[in-house]
Structure 1
Amino acid sequence: MRGTTVRAVNRLTARWAGALPPGGDTVLSAAGVWPLLAFLADGADGPARAELADALGLPAEDSADAGRDLLAGLGRIPRTGTAVGLWTRPTVTLRQEWAAGLPDATLGRLGADDAANQELLDAWAAERTGGLIPAMPVAVDPATELVLAAALAVRTSWLRPFREGGLFPESGPWAGRELVGLYRTTGLLDRVGVAETGAGPLTVLKVLGDTGVDVHLLLGPEETERGAVLRAGLDVLAGVHRAVPGGALPPGEPGPGVTVRTVRSTTREPYLSVTTSPFALTGDHDLTELPGVFGLSSALDATRGHFPGVADHPPLSVGQARQAAMARFGAQGFEAATVTAFGLVGAGMPMRPYLVRAVDVDFDRPFGFLAVHRTSRLVLTAGWVHEPVPYTFDEDEEE
């Protein structure tokens, strides 16, 4: 993957994270949105083309090539799968040169039965993510002329698994709760570091996977909003702030959640003891709620068409733009998936009302994470974990 593309995708991750409202748990992937914005920019004109290019961080004339480069690079990561799908009504006169630029895309038709159309798209989402995302995030209704979607699925196993056990905090927001904890001890002190950032001190713990995909756990000051913590983590990843590695941290409490002390041991080797929490998150994002972040302000204007490079007829505008996402972090490894979809509608005509699927997710666990491709430093998935997993005692333990 080109460095310019990786930096552009990570900038969009930072923009999105910075625009998140205060709240609970979420998971998102700019890497799943970026190639679709790139293909739309390639077919756009006027203000919509300029706004999409600004969101991408690249000239519109370079966007399609960069989108193909990104998807090809993602496909080379072991146990990472990508897919692109395009479905159109028979009334859409598609520009074949634009469609031919979609790499290995599924090309399909939307029929007259929208329930059957929805089943077709839902099945594609489930198949392309191995069941991790069971349904397409956009709803097909009579106004939908074209659906453009991308799927991304990532799996990795830890080089050094965690042990699972109980976690019973005595202070802080989890005090008095019986939770599931993950534990690991290593002699590699530099897996953890503390950086001074614009959001305050940030602790970064790297958990290495066997496919070249690592997860960086981020812990900031207790009252810091999730968007600020995630952006600080992205700044550390980009080298804007330098993290002091664990082996160079001073004694005491040099960072959030970090204690450095001298202890008696039977060996000469120092050690890093890690305690964290597993998580299983889902997110449902309406990208049209943040049009400035994704360059969609003009593209959402249905009074005119914005994508003459996509189709000769009818004129098209963006009617829906959504992402469904999930991530699981456990003792053995990490997996994440997203399906991002744009529903384009006929422009210059009255909009018809439609129903969209909404998922309400509310966890309560204050740390962020970035799933990072180790070589390119591309952020595949980012999220905020707000609710720990409760610990359940079985009957044998109680006896």
Structure 2
Amino acid sequence: MRGSTVRAVNRLTARWAGALPADRDTVLSASGVWPLLAFLADGAAGPARTELEDALGMPADRAAVAARELLAGLSRIPGVGSAVGLWTRPRVRPRDAWAGGLPEATLGRLGADDAESKRLLDAWAAERTGGLIPAMPVRVTEETDLVLATAQAVRTSWLRPFREGDMCPEDGPWAGRELAALHRTTGLLDRVGVAETDAGPLTVLRVLGSTGVDVHLLLGPEEAECGAVLKAGVDVLAGTFRTVPGDLLPLGEPGPGLYVRQVRSTSREPYLAVTTSPFSLTAEHDLTALHELFGLTTARDDTRGHFPGICDVPPLAVRQARQAAMARFGAKGFEAASVTAVGLPGGAAPATTYRVRRIDLDIDRPFGFLTVHRTSRLVLAAGWVAEPVPYVFEEQD
């Protein structure tokens, strides 16, 4: 994957995160939206093409090539799958040059029976995401002439699993609640770091996956809103802000959720003790509600066509543009998926002998996350955990 494409997709992630409502569970995938916008731009003309270029951060005549390279790159990452689908009414004949540029796309027909078309599209979404997204996010009506969709799924196992347990935060919005928790210790202090960002100090914990896909957990100041924290996380990923690793952090409380101290131990090895919250999130996004962000303002005008590069007749406009997304973070691993579519009408303490550095990280209030391909630094998914999982006490016989 080209660095310019990764930067363009990550910029869209940051801009989208900045437009999110505050303090609400959500998950999104700009890497699922970006290729779809690129293929639309390839077939667009006039103001619609210009607006899509602005959203993409790239000229339209380069975007389709970049999207194909991006999707090909995703397919080479273990545990990551991506797909493109195109469905049209019999009266719509897409241009060969445009349709031929959709990489290994599923090509299908929308029939007169809209219920059957919905079953067809839902089955494609479920199959291409391994059942993580069970339905296509757009509706098929008699006015829908064309549906273009992308699907993406990510699965990875942790290199070092967590232990399941519980926690009861003493402060913050989750205070006084018995919550499910994940615990883990490691001697690798550089897994955590603190960066000074526009949102304030940001604690970043990297949880490494076995497939080259990692999850970065982001804890900002308690007053920082989700969009600011997620944007700061993308900026840290891009190297805009320097991160101080755990082994170089000062003693005390150098970042949100962190406590660094010297303790006595029977081992020379320092350790990082992490407590965090598991999560299972789903979200649906109406991209037309943020039409300026996604370059769809003019494209929504159905009084005229905007995509002559796709087909001449009927003239096409964007009637629907939606994404369904999910993410699940547990003791053994992580999985996330998205489908994005547009519809176009027309025990006792041991003896101690060493003093070592111990870092405790408690993520016990709302936090953000980025799913990141380790090599390219492409953000595959991003989200915010506002509501924790209650701890379920097991009944004793």
* Partner residue, 1:102: 102
* Partner residue, 2:59: 59
Contact 1:214 1:373 in 2 (8 A): yes
Q: Which runs of 4+ in 1 moved over 4 A?
A: none
Contact 2:166 2:178 in 1 (8 A): yes
* Partner residue, 2:188: 188
Q: Does 1:335 align with 2:335?
A: yes
* Partner residue, 2:164: 164
Query: Could you tell me the percent identity over the aligned residues?
Result: 77
Q: Deviations over 1:141-189 (max 9, x none)?
A: 1110000000000000000000001112222221211111100000000
TM-score (norm 2): 0.94
* Partner residue, 2:31: 31
The alpha carbon displacement at 1:94 in A equals 1.3
Q: Deviations over 1:313-369 (max 9, x none)?
A: 1000000000000000000000000000000112xxxxxxxxxxxxxxxxx961000
The AA in structure 1 aligned to 2:327 is A
The AA in structure 1 aligned to 2:67 is G
Q: Give the Cα–Cα distance (whole angstroms) in 2 for the partners of residues 82 and 72 of structure 1.
A: 8
**SS of residue in 1 equivalent to 2:155:** strand
The AA in structure 2 aligned to 1:58 is M
Q: Give the Cα–Cα distance (whole angstroms) in 1 for the partners of residues 369 and 298 of structure 2.
A: 32
The alpha carbon displacement at 1:274 in A equals 0.6
* Partner residue, 1:69: 69
Q: Does 1:375 align with 2:372?
A: no
Change (3 A) 1:23 1:273: closer
Q: Give the Cα–Cα distance (whole angstroms) in 2 for the partners of residues 120 and 253 of structure 1.
A: 54
Q: Give the Cα–Cα distance (whole angstroms) in 2 for the partners of residues 191 and 131 of structure 1.
A: 32
Contact 1:17 1:230 in 2 (8 A): yes
**SS of residue in 2 equivalent to 1:261:** strand
Q: Deviations over 1:34-86 (max 9, x none)?
A: 00000000000000001101111111111110010000000000011111100
* Partner residue, 1:89: 89
The alpha carbon displacement at 1:207 in A equals 0.2
Q: Give the Cα–Cα distance (whole angstroms) in 2 for the partners of residues 312 and 277 of structure 1.
A: 52
The AA in structure 1 aligned to 2:91 is T
Contact 1:93 1:314 in 2 (8 A): no
Q: Does 1:300 align with 2:297?
A: no
Q: Give the Cα–Cα distance (whole angstroms) in 2 for the partners of residues 94 and 313 of structure 1.
A: 9
**SS of residue in 1 equivalent to 2:377:** coil
> What does residue range 38-49 of structure 1 map to in structure 2 within 5 Å?
38-49=38-49
Contact 1:25 1:365 in 2 (8 A): no
The AA in structure 2 aligned to 1:102 is L
Q: Tell which deviates more after alignment, 387-396 or 25-34.
A: 387-396
Q: Give the Cα–Cα distance (whole angstroms) in 2 for the partners of residues 42 and 290 of structure 1.
A: 21
Q: Does 1:123 align with 2:123?
A: yes
* Partner residue, 2:276: 276
Q: Give the Cα–Cα distance (whole angstroms) in 2 for the partners of residues 367 and 300 of structure 1.
A: 35
Q: Give the Cα–Cα distance (whole angstroms) in 2 for the partners of residues 191 and 395 of structure 1.
A: 37
Q: Give the Cα–Cα distance (whole angstroms) in 2 for the partners of residues 154 and 124 of structure 1.
A: 17
The AA in structure 1 aligned to 2:319 is G
Contact 2:27 2:381 in 1 (8 A): yes
Q: Does 1:323 align with 2:315?
A: no
The alpha carbon displacement at 1:223 in A equals 1.4
The AA in structure 1 aligned to 2:8 is A
Could you list the runs of 5+ residues in structure 2 that have no partner in the other structure? 347-363
The alpha carbon displacement at 1:23 in A equals 3.5
The AA in structure 2 aligned to 1:283 is A
* Partner residue, 2:361: none
Contact 1:369 1:384 in 2 (8 A): yes
* Partner residue, 1:151: 151
> What does residue range 241-280 of structure 1 map to in structure 2 within 5 Å?
241-280=241-280
Q: Give the Cα–Cα distance (whole angstroms) in 2 for the partners of residues 365 and 253 of structure 1.
A: 16
Contact 2:172 2:365 in 1 (8 A): no
**SS of residue in 1 equivalent to 2:254:** strand
Change (3 A) 1:93 1:366: same
The AA in structure 2 aligned to 1:148 is L
**SS of residue in 2 equivalent to 1:292:** coil
Q: Give the Cα–Cα distance (whole angstroms) in 2 for the partners of residues 341 and 365 of structure 1.
A: 33
* Partner residue, 1:237: 237
Q: Give the Cα–Cα distance (whole angstroms) in 2 for the partners of residues 269 and 111 of structure 1.
A: 65
The alpha carbon displacement at 1:21 in A equals 2.4
Structure 1 vs Structure 2 CA RMSD: 1.0
The alpha carbon displacement at 1:195 in A equals 0.5
Q: Give the Cα–Cα distance (whole angstroms) in 2 for the partners of residues 30 and 125 of structure 1.
A: 17
Q: Give the Cα–Cα distance (whole angstroms) in 1 for the partners of residues 150 and 39 of structure 2.
A: 11
The alpha carbon displacement at 1:388 in A equals 1.0
Q: Give the Cα–Cα distance (whole angstroms) in 2 for the partners of residues 318 and 264 of structure 1.
A: 64
The alpha carbon displacement at 1:97 in A equals 1.2
Contact 1:201 1:220 in 2 (8 A): yes
* Partner residue, 1:349: none
The alpha carbon displacement at 1:224 in A equals 0.8
Q: Deviations over 1:267-323 (max 9, x none)?
A: 111100011010000010000000111110111111111000001210000000000
* Partner residue, 1:8: 8
